[in-house]
Structure 1
Amino acid sequence: AAAAIDYIRRSQAGLLPRLSHPRPSDSSDILGLDPATRASLDLLRTRDGETEHTLFAAVSRTVTAAGSRMLADWIAAPLTDPERIARRQAGWVWLLDKPGIRDDLRASLRAAPDMARALGRLSLGRGQPRDAVAIRLALGVAREIGTILNRHENLPPIMEQAVRHLDRAHDLQDLLGRALSENPPARMDDGGIIASGYDAELDTQRELRDGSRRVIAALQQEYATEFGIANLKIRHHAQLGYVIEVPAAAGARLRGREDLIMRQGTASASRFSTERLVSLDQQIAQAAENAGLRERHLFTQVVGRILDEAALPDMAAALSCIDIAQSCAVLAGGGTWCCPAVGTDTSFVIRAGRHPVVEAALPRNARFTPNDCDLEPDHRVMLLTGPNMAGKSTFLRQTALAVILAQAGLPVAAQSMRIGVVDRLFSRVGASDDLARGRSTFMVEMTETAAILNQAGPRSLVVVDEIGRGTSTLDGLAIAWAVLETLHSTLRCRAIFATHFHELAELADSMPRLSPHTMSVREWKGQVIFQHEVVPGSARRSWGVHVARLAGVPEPVVRRAGRLLSMLEKERGRQAPPLPLFEQAAADVPDAPSTPALPPAAMELITELDPDALSPRTALEMLYKLKKLLKP
């Protein structure tokens, strides 16, 4: 923190912005999201750097810039504390059945300027008059919103806290109301920042300055009459000061007068001065300079008073929080978004979940097909097979996004949702290389897989797509098999494992918590119809040739590929077993000597054991019991 402050001080020429006290942050309070997961899910920006088709764009209904920034922070750093999550949810749930209050809050918030940005500029000495006016307007909006919410009893805690922060800084609001003019200029040099009546000395200097202008107007009329030149003007020149300006023809008649001093002649005009004009010019310049200096001094005092008000950062945060609450209430008000239940167990059930970004991009008359996701403890690993373009990647991402929204305290695009807190989320969906760093697509895939296997734990959620596709079939199948075993039996995390290695579905017999699912497909009149539904079971085909046709591959190539596929499938059916690695693994293991049957008591004890529920001490006690039962 000290190094950061030193950098700011040096880079800002000694000036420091308004800084809050450092606060300790525990990484366990925030859902762990590694860079690959953030890039995969397009939370705030897409891989192309765009902001349109992102999770933030799909859920934001905020009306203030500060509210949008806080919502982005919530999405980027979801929570792992169910109590804090419930506090956030309570704010927008309270507004769900109160459309009148929502509309009043939105109308008031639309007038709220960005208080935090204005404070930042003022604290660095870069503020302009309109930044101070922004603080005044924000204070007015805060008082107005506080009045709206104070009309109602039984506010949720997050709203009560916001109201307490909004109901402060009344003295500062009164000061700014008296000190600042109604419509100040954009720049300090333009003057007119401080309101009339606030400072007597400034009013005196302004009267002298503005009164002199009236004197100039009267003097112009006097000279026009005296010299008989109706279009005579008294103008202020940057180098010459106040001068009499007449057309060139009239100027020739005035050059002989002793009371006039010729200052400048051009082809179209002649400029003269008098001792009276010179004296008046000095008086006006002095009055204007004094007024400007006094106004700057007063504005500096006002800015200092603003920066001394400790309540402003909390007030800005409260306005942003209320903006997010109304945004969530508007989003969930249509009835198709739910308030998820987030607890401390390991449950995981989503009913009729949808992908919010894809749904937002659909045409108005199109409908997104919802899907359930059940990763309860007794079937916490879902093996998802099915054809390309059937929606596997969409299903993976929508599940991960639902967790992020739920633990950020926001509505979820689903009929209902109940999950135990996820401590780390890993999403490996979509292939990409990193050639600039010398990493191929497969190397990137394995690097990300390594990160998952080294960091995931029992409370993590892992969604992975096509592990092992960047190498040979047997290598890829072996890697996918080993990774799936590790997720299921070693890490014991909740996971969705999408793959085209359909043989892995056979592992359900040896992995009790593995649940095979597939994407539903129908054939009709020789065409393949993707139904985008996740159903129990496993696929036996990938329909890659059909997808090639959809992509525009020339028809002769598609037909040839179809014939080759049929030939290869027949050849494999004659020569190879369904899962060659199983057969190879069995062939490599020598025949083991037969073991005697276990005593009935030992068999009963083993049958009743639940390894996932055993503590280390209880497991040790069970081993002693088994050893005792197995003694001859």
Structure 2
Amino acid sequence: MAAYTPMIQQYLTVKAEYQDAFLFFRLGDFYEMFFEDAIKASQELEITLTSREGGSDERIPMCGVPHHAAHNYIEQLISKGYKVAICEQTEDPKHAKGVVRREVVQLITPGTVMEGKGLSEKENNYIAAVSSFEDGTFGFAYNDISTGESRVTILSANFDEVLNELAVLSAKEVVVASNFDEALQKKMRDRDVLAISFEDNSSIDLNFQHLLEAVNQEKLKQAVARLFNYLYRSQKRSLDHLQPVTTYQIHQYMKIDYYSKRNLELTETIRSKGKKGSLLWLLDETMTAMGGRMLKHWIDRPLISQNEIEYRQTIVDVLMNHYFERQELREKLKEVYDLERLAGRVAFGNVNARDLVQLKRSLMQTPFLKQILQGMPNEQVNKIADLLDPCEEITDLLEQAIVENPPLSLKEGNMIRDGYNKQLDQYRDASRNGKTWIAQLERDEREKTGIKSLKVGYNRVFGYYIEVTRANLHLLKEGQYERKQTLTNAERYITPDLKEKEALILQAEEKCGELEYELFTEIREMIKEQIPRLQSLAKTVSELDVLQCFAQTSEERRYVKPQFSAERLIMIKDGRHPVVEKVLNAQEYVPNDCLMDADREVLLITGPNMSGKSTYMRQIALTAILAQIGCYVPASEAVLPIFDQVFTRIGAADDLISGQSTFMVEMLEANNAIANATKNSLILFDEIGRGTSTYDGMALAQAIIEYIHTRIGAKTLFSTHYHELTVLDKELMKLKNIHVSAIEHNGKVVFLHKIKEGPADKSYGIHVAQLANLPKELINRANDILIALEQSDIQTVPAKIEVVKEPQVEKPAQLSFFDEPKEPKKQELSSKEKRVVEKMKELDILDLTPLQAINMLYELQKKLKH
């Protein structure tokens, strides 16, 4: 350390406290990084790596970014999961004795982002804290620092519950004790947690003791204290916007585990990981950022309280029946700014004058929202209206204080209205009058001297001056002005009166800027005192926004209000998959019924690939979820039980991170359902057992069906290609066979997408392969093998099928699968048919989803028909 210069020593001292973060060290107009930070940052940010002398024998690696553009580079690092410590000069260099004092003023991490591109307006940015206790349970607390929301719960000894909560929240960062189990830390990282941070202090500080009044268990307090201690230590500034902590239990909501959430594509799609194509995408007709975040929260946590569900339904019903009022509501909500995050920025101290104008405009919409709701004759709607606090004091303050179009920077001035502060008005008057005096001086001097080109100018070095060109110098009287500066083509002069006015003007402008900033800070502090009111208003507006969104979507898409059954009855008429229906044309979608009562607990679904089995299963689950978030459902009539949990095993994918095969993932997900489901749960199993040999898979599938039917009693939809399982309806009295129908037309399969009673008679696998445009020779050979297999004893291993080693020129006639006539001679294709063939050749079959493949086939078929 002694070998380095004092400045580098200072850097190393600060860096020692922030080993896991990039240290942005302020030097003049740049943030500099040194040593390993510089090498790594230059790679991650693609900036030039240089070096400098530091007192030692070797040059020190260095890179830097401009102070004014630092936020862009910080966002890049944060998006990659890094942390950035901002080290500023905290001492005026003029007064410094030796090295200027520098301190870290903020630690920015993936979970503590307050603004910028890393903060999606319709998504929360959560940071969580996990505490392990001696009895094996876990304390789980989470917070969104941008909105101030904080919640806490106790989770069981099963760490999967912690992982599931992190997945539901999409938490970006997790805070744990420094001795937290490393294997569990790895599991959290595998679930896309960007950063893990450490905080050993779990004691309750006076700074946040008032936020824990509703938390009465010591474990819960410790979990929250760990999180808050980390936030206060890292942010080093006011967190007055933090809301009182609320407790929750995961069993208060419908439990949907991580895999089921993914399989059902509730908030993002499996393939693209994007919002488009998800249930959230379908529903999101919210008009505010706050409403968008609340909608996602409701989808992640459907209700299980019938009273709470029916309360939401009541509001949706009223809004659906008042179309014009709803449209007016939507227009007013469109003008409402993000009150939650704005309150956070007020407390954090990074709010600007334009934000406050947005706040004023938002609050000005509140009386209109209130009036619209009061015009609807419903007690529940009127209660919402009563909760809408217009916060007139804030509106009046901002109307009197802030100009309508203020500058973005707080240092530019011109953001406080005339008439708001008497002293400011005096400074402005002096400044404006002084400039008027200078303009009049220029006119007077031109008249006195007769020099029309004479001008009064200003620069920062000399202040105000009178400039006369050399050609006109002879017109000046000796001693008329005091020479100040000689230029090539002109002379600059001053007068005592001009310097006096200059002092007045510059002093007024300087004091004006300082006073404006002081006044803005006072206004910000006054608004900070009203943050709880703003947050309460934000919550009410968010709920109203989501409920109008449900009404809007339900009316547009012809959804109906579901009824709830205490007898665990599922009765859906003309049910549809909400997302698939939107992607397809509504007229093309084939609706289906679903009946599951006391005598129909398990539905065994058979039918061809791509016929719609998975879509049918998903639509039942999505209908239940829509119902339990308070929305209407895609059907002509619907009666549903209230499910406590939804489990799915749909789709096949290896878990490469943990090194598990498709079959292992399948068995783990099946076990999760079997171990945790109750009779009030909904289970969707799609082709369980296909990842292993035929007989193993069939045996496992049958055993699972029997276990669920006999031991659990949950409503279960089980799709399979094992047609041998359809005989189970003779032994299991509450199991019924249904199938997705298809017909053969000209030797080809046509999917009807209609659910019918009874088992399917064929699987049509070869025909699906034919639709995928596999070579005709291969298809014919598959048919031959199929016939031979069907003629063997299905209870024994089939006789060995002779392998075709080379193409046969002649072969004995065999019965075709559909008893087709001999293939006619090839005919010349029409131009239309040629275009369709060319289009099919261009398709990459392996890159299409089943839904995309069906859509493409439909389009090609239409072109051939018309």
Give TM-score scaled by structure 2 length: 0.63
- CA–CA separation in structure 1 for the residues paired with 2:410 and 2:597: 63
Q: Residues 557 and 273 (structure 1 numbering): CA distance in 2 closer, same or farther, change over 3 Å?
A: farther
The equivalent residue for 2:291 is: 67
1:291-350 CA-to-partner distances (Å, cap 9, x unmatched) read: 222222222222222222232111112112222222222222247201112354422222
The equivalent residue for 2:720 is: 499
Amino acid at match of 1:544: G
**Is the 8 Å Cα contact of residues 642 and 680 (structure 2) preserved in structure 1?**
yes
Structure 1 residue 250, shift from structure 2 partner: 6.8
The equivalent residue for 1:523 is: 744
**Counterpart selection for 1:323 from 515, 539, 545:** 545
Q: What does residue range 123-202 of structure 1 map to in structure 2 within 5 Å?
A: 123-155=347-379, 157=380, 159-202=381-424
Deviates more, 1:236-245 or 1:67-76: 236-245
Q: Residues 541 and 199 (structure 1 numbering): CA distance in 2 closer, same or farther, change over 3 Å?
A: same
**Is the 8 Å Cα contact of residues 342 and 407 (structure 1) preserved in structure 2?**
no
- Answer yes or no: is 1:38 the counterpart of 2:261: yes
Q: What does residue range 187-226 of structure 1 map to in structure 2 within 5 Å?
A: 187-226=409-448
- CA–CA separation in structure 1 for the residues paired with 2:305 and 2:363: 32
**Is the 8 Å Cα contact of residues 384 and 497 (structure 1) preserved in structure 2?**
yes
Deviates more, 1:280-289 or 1:532-541: 280-289
Q: Secondary structure at the match of 2:226?
A: helix
Q: Residues 130 and 536 (structure 1 numbering): CA distance in 2 closer, same or farther, change over 3 Å?
A: same
Quick check: which one's helix share is greater? 1
- CA–CA separation in structure 2 for the residues paired with 1:194 and 1:490: 72
Deviates more, 1:184-193 or 1:566-575: 566-575
Q: What does residue range 338-417 of structure 1 map to in structure 2 within 5 Å?
A: 338-363=560-585, 366-417=587-638
Structure 1 residue 174, shift from structure 2 partner: 2.3
- CA–CA separation in structure 2 for the residues paired with 1:420 and 1:215: 82
Structure 1 residue 288, shift from structure 2 partner: 1.7
Q: Cα RMSD over matched residues?
A: 2.5
Q: Percent identity?
A: 35
- CA–CA separation in structure 2 for the residues paired with 1:250 and 1:564: 110
Structure 1 residue 169, shift from structure 2 partner: 2.2
The equivalent residue for 1:447 is: 668
Q: Residues 263 and 563 (structure 1 numbering): CA distance in 2 closer, same or farther, change over 3 Å?
A: farther
- CA–CA separation in structure 2 for the residues paired with 1:103 and 1:275: 67
1:84-141 CA-to-partner distances (Å, cap 9, x unmatched) read: 0111111110111211211211121121122112112111101011222222122111
- CA–CA separation in structure 2 for the residues paired with 1:563 and 1:271: 105
The equivalent residue for 1:621 is: none
**Is the 8 Å Cα contact of residues 59 and 356 (structure 1) preserved in structure 2?**
no
The equivalent residue for 2:342 is: 118
Structure 1 residue 542, shift from structure 2 partner: 1.7
Give TM-score scaled by structure 1 length: 0.85
**Is the 8 Å Cα contact of residues 518 and 535 (structure 1) preserved in structure 2?**
yes
Q: Residues 5 and 504 (structure 1 numbering): CA distance in 2 closer, same or farther, change over 3 Å?
A: same
Q: Secondary structure at the match of 1:127?
A: coil
- CA–CA separation in structure 2 for the residues paired with 1:280 and 1:258: 18
The equivalent residue for 1:465 is: 686
Structure 1 residue 215, shift from structure 2 partner: 2.1
Structure 1 residue 375, shift from structure 2 partner: 2.1
1:580-607 CA-to-partner distances (Å, cap 9, x unmatched) read: xxxxxxxxxxxxxxxxxxxxxxxxxxxx
Structure 1 residue 272, shift from structure 2 partner: 5.5
**Counterpart selection for 1:311 from 517, 525, 533:** 533
Amino acid at match of 2:415: I
- Answer yes or no: is 1:19 the counterpart of 2:238: no
- CA–CA separation in structure 2 for the residues paired with 1:276 and 1:418: 89
The equivalent residue for 1:487 is: 708
Amino acid at match of 1:100: F
**Is the 8 Å Cα contact of residues 89 and 339 (structure 1) preserved in structure 2?**
yes
Amino acid at match of 1:194: I
**Is the 8 Å Cα contact of residues 424 and 516 (structure 2) preserved in structure 1?**
yes
- CA–CA separation in structure 2 for the residues paired with 1:129 and 1:56: 34
Q: Residues 207 and 540 (structure 1 numbering): CA distance in 2 closer, same or farther, change over 3 Å?
A: same
- CA–CA separation in structure 2 for the residues paired with 1:232 and 1:349: 92
Q: Residues 254 and 62 (structure 1 numbering): CA distance in 2 closer, same or farther, change over 3 Å?
A: farther
**Is the 8 Å Cα contact of residues 75 and 404 (structure 1) preserved in structure 2?**
yes
Structure 1 residue 177, shift from structure 2 partner: 2.2
Amino acid at match of 2:639: R
- CA–CA separation in structure 2 for the residues paired with 1:210 and 1:316: 42
1:489-542 CA-to-partner distances (Å, cap 9, x unmatched) read: 111111111111111111111111111111011111112110111111112322
**Is the 8 Å Cα contact of residues 254 and 260 (structure 1) preserved in structure 2?**
no
Q: Residues 262 and 254 (structure 1 numbering): CA distance in 2 closer, same or farther, change over 3 Å?
A: farther
Amino acid at match of 2:237: G
Amino acid at match of 1:13: K
The equivalent residue for 1:51 is: 275
Amino acid at match of 2:650: V
**Is the 8 Å Cα contact of residues 191 and 295 (structure 1) preserved in structure 2?**
yes
**Is the 8 Å Cα contact of residues 749 and 768 (structure 2) preserved in structure 1?**
no
- CA–CA separation in structure 2 for the residues paired with 1:526 and 1:247: 99
- CA–CA separation in structure 1 for the residues paired with 2:506 and 2:791: 100
Structure 1 residue 477, shift from structure 2 partner: 0.9
The equivalent residue for 1:569 is: 790
Structure 1 residue 150, shift from structure 2 partner: 1.9
The equivalent residue for 1:281 is: 502
Structure 1 residue 471, shift from structure 2 partner: 0.8
Amino acid at match of 1:69: R
Higher RCO (C-alpha under 8 Å, 6+ residues apart): 1
**Is the 8 Å Cα contact of residues 263 and 273 (structure 1) preserved in structure 2?**
no
Q: Residues 32 and 269 (structure 1 numbering): CA distance in 2 closer, same or farther, change over 3 Å?
A: farther
- CA–CA separation in structure 2 for the residues paired with 1:226 and 1:562: 111
Q: Residues 4 and 247 (structure 1 numbering): CA distance in 2 closer, same or farther, change over 3 Å?
A: farther
Amino acid at match of 2:372: I
- Answer yes or no: is 1:2 the counterpart of 2:225: yes
**Is the 8 Å Cα contact of residues 279 and 579 (structure 2) preserved in structure 1?**
yes
**Is the 8 Å Cα contact of residues 389 and 533 (structure 2) preserved in structure 1?**
no
**Is the 8 Å Cα contact of residues 345 and 421 (structure 1) preserved in structure 2?**
no
- CA–CA separation in structure 2 for the residues paired with 1:257 and 1:547: 104
**Is the 8 Å Cα contact of residues 248 and 265 (structure 1) preserved in structure 2?**
no
Q: Residues 207 and 389 (structure 1 numbering): CA distance in 2 closer, same or farther, change over 3 Å?
A: same
Q: Secondary structure at the match of 1:374?
A: strand
Structure 1 residue 15, shift from structure 2 partner: 3.0
**Is the 8 Å Cα contact of residues 255 and 262 (structure 1) preserved in structure 2?**
no
Amino acid at match of 1:33: I
Q: Residues 509 and 250 (structure 1 numbering): CA distance in 2 closer, same or farther, change over 3 Å?
A: farther
Amino acid at match of 1:61: E
Amino acid at match of 1:303: R
Amino acid at match of 1:175: L
The equivalent residue for 2:640 is: 419
Equivalent pairs counted in the alignment come to 573
- CA–CA separation in structure 2 for the residues paired with 1:211 and 1:42: 66
**Is the 8 Å Cα contact of residues 376 and 382 (structure 2) preserved in structure 1?**
no
Amino acid at match of 1:196: D
The equivalent residue for 1:627 is: none
**Is the 8 Å Cα contact of residues 483 and 491 (structure 2) preserved in structure 1?**
no
Q: Residues 243 and 395 (structure 1 numbering): CA distance in 2 closer, same or farther, change over 3 Å?
A: farther
